[in-house]
Structure 1
Amino acid sequence: MNRLGDATSPYLLQHADNPVHWWPWSDEAFAEAKRRDVPVLISVGYAACHWCHVMAHESFEDAAVGDLVNEHFVAIKVDREERPDVDAVYMSATQAMTGQGGWPMTVFAAPDGKPFLCGTYYPKAQFTRLLEAVTEAWRDQRTQVLEQGEAVVEAIARNPIEGGGEITKELLDHAVERLRADYDSVRGGFGGAPKFPPHMLMLFLLRHHQRAKDADALELVRHTGEAMARGGIYDQLGGGFHRYAVDATWTVPHFEKMLYDNALLLRVYNEIWRLTADPLAQRIATETAMFLVNDLQTAEGGFASALDADTEGVEGTTYSWTPAQLVEVLGEDDAGFAADLFGVTEAGTFEHGASVLVLKRDIDDVAPEVQQRWERVRGLMMATRRERPQPMRDDKVVAAWNGLAITALCEFWRNYTEVGDVADVENVDFRAIAVEAGELLLNSHVVDGRLRRVSRDGIVGQPAGVLEDYGCVAEAFCALHQVTGDGRWLAAAGALVDAAAERFRDGQGGFHDTADDAERLVIRPADPTDNATPSGLSSLVNALLSYSALSGEPRWHEMAERALSTIVPLLAGHPRFAGYAASAAEALLSGPYEIAIATTDPETDPLLLTAIEHAPPGAVIVAGHPDAPGVPLLAGRTMVGDQPTAYVCRGFVCDRPVTTTVELTTILT
């Protein structure tokens, strides 16, 4: 029987009616394989994955394929977003065996879980032949099959990074030079097709620019940011970014929209706007924040994981347009304007003569009448698009990704505060929304002092939090502490970094991705490289630096420095896979700065606004009444001469207190 009917994962529920007798990941499934003496088929994917849907329709919904699988295998379906630990182990095996990875991931393993054959998407005919070949090999070549599994496990258990080193300016300068060499100077970004948004590298380059005064690093980020914002990877009508572009020009995307991408890109565009006052960056940051609120916020106050790539089984139909559709919606005159503006042609850039909308002209610094026409046309097109079939939403709440979103919204709210807009866009209070999401994580996902990975409809799931959950949520709680002045957020962050230090350390300065009391897999994963999301190590290091600066406890700073030292070879040799760790390293070299503003006006005091405007990489900022309870940075910080006073420390060494914005600017710049 198919055992997915009681799953909470939307991805598993998509397969609950398959003729394949799926099991969820469980000890019972492996015990059944051992009892029957058959191999295990492990299929890993996620709800918004286009090719996962294709393989499901072609193979897993086919009765003949189901009969073949059921007779010769125990089949296990895994949601990679719920079980990133399982995904990490078998993705390492897939990459080791094939040289590449992706989803859907298809793994054949012995009943003890050791993988002996791995791949990704298989068309139905090829998948059927593969099932037959594996069945035959299991029957006739068992010894060789098991030896292959042992060899794979031995290979993926090896530490991919040997040695260590010191975090230095020269190391990070070298990393930037490596990135420049890989940079696409024409179209922005790194490498060719497919092209993914390099958000973590952009955050690193922005911090590097601030510390090293590297204008070229800033230009790389600005250029890439503009190219993505004008490309089809950005939703020109509804806001928010798609997962990646299938081409090198950012034109045609893979259409799923992921929470983690949009949270990280919100931080990027917000920072570009803060540093350059670029109106395009301001608009994209604002629209991306609104996308998080309008499209991904759940009834419980968290953020859903993703919007699907497909609409009713077809990719892109919600988002693409033909010239005839523009005429039908807008009339001849405005349709011509829209076609020219959005690059909609008779030939099309997508499928069946349709085009993905790109932005061919500047609309952020134009005459008011052009701006008004743009807004009217976009509004009419969006109203029509809402009437089309819409992609499914994966509404499970993932702790780590919600942490990324909370941090992004806190930074965005602060930036609006600094420019005098009171963070109120379309009557949305982004700080209150960030707090609400934080409450969900604190009240539902923290169970007996430990994090749970996912929840849905307010009900927390069983999968334990992995290291990235602890790091991203602790960093988010530090961000909430800074924008609210509420000490309970700092206390909650401290509890999480305590738990991470106790349960995840590897004894060599680094960290495992799973806790010491987590389910035992064929290896205990410990991957320091960034992938679609920040690695567990880089997430935790960023949280450790923020928490240390806010709490005044140097041991967490030392732990972060030691962890970063273990991946110096990665930073030196492969910086494209260590952007989030490199951004933490920039904060480490910068101090990070600890800025406390003693004031009776903790919302809009000019000293606070100056601190936000000129904050160095990784700086923490708190503002409030002297000796505010639960805020260590304000302890003993009085107002000099009854005037608002700024206290600036760097690496736990403090400058003299200042009372003017000029003095504060001088210290920070």
Structure 2
Amino acid sequence: MNQLQHETSPYLLQHANNPVEWYPWKPIAFERARRENKPILVSIGYSACHWCHVMEHESFEDAETAAFMNAHFINIKVDREERPDVDQIYMEACQIMNGNGGWPLNCFLLPDGRPFFAGTYFPPHPAHNRPAWLQVLNNLYHAYRDRYADVVQQAEQLMENIASGNQVFRKTELLEQTDAVVFSPVLPQNICFGLQQRFDTTYGGFGGAPKFPGTMNLSFLLDYQHYTGEEAARDHVHFSLRKMIGGGIYDQLGGGFSRYTVDQAWLVPHFEKMLYDNALLLSVLAKAYRQEPQPLYAQTIAETLAFVAREMTSSEGGFYAALDADSEGEEGRFYVWSQAEIDQQLGPRSPLFCQVYGVSPAGNWEGHNILWRARELEEVAAEQGMDAATAQTQLADARGQLLKVRDQRIRPGLDDKHLLSWNALLISAYCHAYHALGEESYRQAAHRAVQFVQAKMTTPTGELWHTYKAGKAQYQGFLDDYADWIAALLDMYTVTFELTFIDQAVAFTEFVLANFLDESDNLFYFTSATQKDVPLRRKEMYDNAVPSGNATMALNLQQLAVLVGRSEWAELARAMLKPMTTSIERYPTAFGRWARAALYEAYPTREVVIIGEQAVRMALELQKKHYPNTVFMAHSQGDVAGYPLLAGRPAQAETLIYVCQNFECQLPVSNIADARAYL
């Protein structure tokens, strides 16, 4: 019988009524496979995955297909967001076998968990140069039964290749280079040059279709420009952000970004909305605004956080994972319009709206209209004999009216689980948005989410759970959970200047060092040493949809080394970065978070310490502008033991700002303008 009905994952629950006898990823499934000597099918997806839904409907709901699967395989369903560790191993197997991968991911295993075959979507009948699903099942069943030795050999080869992937970053000519070469401005310069070769100068971003935002690379370019004045880097970031905000990837009515577009011009999104994408884009928008305070960025930040508060925030203060691409069985149906609908709803305001948002009777996607900023409002207003202020009011009213109409439609499915790493990314985004716009509700939302994680996703012994839903937290935290959580705690310190956040960041860092570090190469495993239910421990180095946990830990160690005087952590960050440098230079779009860590080593770090009654207020004021490689500390009394930057600096009659760089301090100043001059 199907074993998924007691799970909390929305993706697993979507399959709880399938005739397939699905198991969750638990020992009982492997025990049965060993007992009955059957191969295992692990089918991996996530709730917002369009083709996962298609394959479920075509194959997993089909009685004949399910009967064959139940008779000859032990079938396991995995939510890749709940178990990214499982997904990583079998996605690598798929990529080794096929040269690519995606979801749904269907991997066939020996009873001990070693993979021997992997693929993605298979149709119910041969099509698109793909065999039918039943053909795949039949061939693999007979291979396992009749050619078992060959199957085992294939599994052994796959496991060797997967395991060797963990070694690739040790084998680099960079180990022959000196620190003076590795940790110099030459490396960021080469990274920037490599990214420039991939600039899409027509539509922004990097490369062609499908088009992903590339937020980690945009963030690096903003930091790099600060030090070098590289106008091409700065201009491309702002050009890219404007193009995305004006495109179909951005929800022009409700705020928030879709995951990617299938075209190069940001017009046609894959309509799922992921928490992590919005968190990462919010952070880079806030950084861009702190560099160039453009009203468009402020509006987009406000609209996107309003979307998060309205649709992605739980009553407990945490954040949900995703909104599906589909509603009523159709991708994008919730978001698209016909011109007739818009004309009916807006009446005389429709011509203005349709011109600005590119609406036509024929539509721009499958006979429907995806809204995008096709023309500037001022230009359309002038053509229609309307002043800009009136046009702005009419357009805002029209957007509000259509949003109300859209809210009456059947909504896309909500994946209402909480994932710790994604929650941490959004906590950081709220902090960054607070620095940019000064909106107190953003700081309060971040603080409430921190309290939620502490109450619901932290064990009594101070460890982290990966996922939480319906009162149940489960699965040991992974490296990304700890790395992003430490980063969020450090960001919370910058909006509150409560030392407890640094103390917690230190404690979690010590836990990561004890439970995730591979001392043979100074890099971190994705899974804890205490986790035993996967066939091997992997290391994730690349930025994927979310930043590399190793790169984030390098940044955390760099900051904490300054904040609490742990020089050995600075040395560890350098040791992590050194073997990565050749890969970062060769494939810069895949290593944006690492590139920021390289920037930290290549250019001077600065410490800004403010002591006195006005310390917190002045620190918040200074942080309205973005200063990379800069650590801020503020305290009303000063001279606090355990914090080298505060020690020996007692409060004076007036609040003083100390700015130091490369272990050299300027004379303290007492006003913001003088401090900015040093920065």
Q: State the shift of 1:489 in Å.
A: 1.5
Give the equivalent residue in structure 2 for 1:327: 343
Give the equivalent residue in structure 1 for 2:250: 234
Q: Which amino acid aligns with 2:437?
A: Y
What does residue range 382-421 of structure 1 map to in structure 2 within 5 Å? 382-417=403-438
- The alignment covers a number of residue pairs equal to 653
Among 509, 512, 536, the residue aligned to 1:500: 512
Q: Which amino acid aligns with 1:348?
A: G
Check whether the contact 1:480–1:489 (CA below 8 A) recurs between aligned residues. Answer: yes
1:566 counterpart SS class: helix
1:455 counterpart SS class: strand
C-alpha distance 651-111 of structure 1, shift in aligned 2 (>3 A): farther
Among 350, 361, 365, the residue aligned to 2:375: 361
Unaligned runs of 5+ in 2: 126-131, 176-181, 380-386
Check whether the contact 1:244–1:253 (CA below 8 A) recurs between aligned residues. Answer: yes
Deviations 1:71-100 (A, max 9, x none): 010001111111111111111111111111
Deviations 1:331-375 (A, max 9, x none): 1x2111111111111221222x11111012335999322221111
C-alpha distance 457-597 of structure 1, shift in aligned 2 (>3 A): farther
Partner Cα distance (2:69, 2:265) in 1: 41
Q: State the shift of 1:541 in Å.
A: 1.6
Give the equivalent residue in structure 2 for 1:469: 481
Deviations 1:554-604 (A, max 9, x none): 222222222111211221111111111112222333443222222323454
Give the equivalent residue in structure 1 for 2:502: 490
Check whether the contact 2:435–2:620 (CA below 8 A) recurs between aligned residues. Answer: no
Matched, 1:295 2:311: yes
Give the equivalent residue in structure 2 for 1:6: 6
Unaligned runs of 5+ in 1: 418-422
Partner Cα distance (1:144, 1:591) in 2: 57
Partner Cα distance (1:629, 1:638) in 2: 8
Partner Cα distance (1:458, 1:361) in 2: 48
Q: State the shift of 1:124 in Å.
A: 1.7
Q: Which amino acid aligns with 1:91?
A: M
What does residue range 60-79 of structure 1 map to in structure 2 within 5 Å? 60-79=60-79
Among 203, 212, 217, the residue aligned to 2:233: 217
Matched, 1:15 2:15: yes
Check whether the contact 1:471–1:542 (CA below 8 A) recurs between aligned residues. Answer: no
What does residue range 589-600 of structure 1 map to in structure 2 within 5 Å? 589-600=602-613
Q: State the shift of 1:328 in Å.
A: 1.2
C-alpha distance 309-86 of structure 1, shift in aligned 2 (>3 A): same
Give the equivalent residue in structure 1 for 2:539: 526
Partner Cα distance (1:402, 1:364) in 2: 39
1:270 counterpart SS class: helix
Deviations 1:441-495 (A, max 9, x none): 222222112211011134311x111111111000001111221122222111111
Deviations 1:365-416 (A, max 9, x none): 9932222111111000101010111111111111111111011111111222
Give the equivalent residue in structure 2 for 1:127: 133
Q: State the shift of 1:547 in Å.
A: 2.4
Q: Which amino acid aligns with 2:388?
A: A
Q: State the shift of 1:5 in Å.
A: 0.7
TM-score scaled by length of structure 1? 0.94
Task: After superposing the two structures, state which structure 1 stretch, 372-381 or 629-638, moved more.
Answer: 629-638
Q: State the shift of 1:206 in Å.
A: 0.8
Deviations 1:153-208 (A, max 9, x none): 10111123222452331111111111111111101111111111111111111111
Q: State the shift of 1:111 in Å.
A: 0.8
Q: Which amino acid aligns with 1:648?
A: V
What does residue range 268-667 of structure 1 map to in structure 2 within 5 Å? 268-331=284-347, 333-351=348-366, 353-363=367-377, 367-417=388-438, 423-424=439-440, 429-447=441-459, 448-461=461-474, 463-507=475-519, 508-602=521-615, 604-605=617-618, 608-609=620-621, 611-627=622-638, 632=643, 633-640=645-652, 642-650=653-661, 653-667=664-678
Give the equivalent residue in structure 2 for 1:420: none
1:595 counterpart SS class: strand
Partner Cα distance (1:629, 1:26) in 2: 49
Q: Which amino acid aligns with 1:411?
A: H
Partner Cα distance (2:620, 2:642) in 1: 16
Partner Cα distance (1:630, 1:457) in 2: 42
Task: After superposing the two structures, state which structure 1 stretch, 74-83 or 522-531, moved more.
Answer: 522-531
Check whether the contact 1:531–1:577 (CA below 8 A) recurs between aligned residues. Answer: yes
Give the equivalent residue in structure 2 for 1:153: 159
Q: State the shift of 1:663 in Å.
A: 2.3
The root-mean-square deviation of aligned C-alpha atoms, in Å, is: 1.8
Q: State the shift of 1:250 in Å.
A: 0.5
C-alpha distance 340-522 of structure 1, shift in aligned 2 (>3 A): same
Matched, 1:116 2:116: yes
TM-score scaled by length of structure 2? 0.93
C-alpha distance 647-106 of structure 1, shift in aligned 2 (>3 A): same
2:659 counterpart SS class: strand
Partner Cα distance (1:406, 1:237) in 2: 24
Among 159, 177, 191, the residue aligned to 2:193: 177
Check whether the contact 1:21–1:75 (CA below 8 A) recurs between aligned residues. Answer: yes
Q: State the shift of 1:321 in Å.
A: 0.7
Partner Cα distance (2:267, 2:670) in 1: 50
Task: After superposing the two structures, state which structure 1 stretch, 500-509 or 554-563, moved more.
Answer: 554-563
Partner Cα distance (1:591, 1:4) in 2: 53
Task: After superposing the two structures, state which structure 1 stretch, 208-217 or 260-269, moved more.
Answer: 208-217
Check whether the contact 2:38–2:111 (CA below 8 A) recurs between aligned residues. Answer: yes
Task: After superposing the two structures, state which structure 1 stretch, 310-319 or 256-265, moved more.
Answer: 310-319
Q: Which amino acid aligns with 1:516?
A: A
